[in-house]
Amino acid sequence: MAREAVKVEVTNSTGFPRRFLTASAATITKGAILKFATPRTASLSTGTGDVVAGIAAFTKTADYSTEITVLTDCICTLVASGAIVAGDCLKTAAPGNYVMTMTATASTAICIGYALSGAAADGNVDVRVSV
């Protein structure tokens, strides 16, 4: 998948990594935005407004492994789905690995973080990821 997040900084020098379950057959690229499902499972974000688990810290190949490390507190460069203004609260956008501005009425459960810079559609935006 294209448009993976590029890690700029991590908080507390670690990015507060968390371990999540994932399908052994899943291939996940480092920097992919991951959505959350129960029980504590992460998979590729594919739609608008996914509940976010975080950013994949490493590439996971389709093999026997059923866990992945996810960054939950970092600054990453992501790709804007539409115009974004610095300070906007962001959510995932289709078809995956895009972010867009949240509406005021959206659930905070889908907030991936907030924009540290502005961006036009398909432009790069620095995001304070905090999930």
What are the boundaries of each domain within the chain?
Answer: 6-72, 74-130
CB 69 within 8 A of CB 61: no
CATH class for the domain made up of 74-130? mainly beta
Q: What is the pLDDT of residue 1?
A: 52
Minimal CA–CA distance to 90: which of 81, 80, 100?
A: 100
Q: Which residues contact 64 (CB under 8 A, 6 or more apart)?
A: 24
Q: Are 28 and 60 in contact (CB under 8 A)?
A: yes
Task: Give the C-alpha separation, 64 to 87, whole Å.
Answer: 41
pLDDT tens digit at each of 131 positions of the chain: 567 777 777 777 677 899 999 999 999 999 999 999 989 999 999 988 899 999 999 999 999 899 999 999 999 999 999 999 999 999 999 888 899 999 877 788 899 999 999 999 999 999 999 98
pTM of the full structure:
0.91
Identify the pLDDT of residue 98: 93
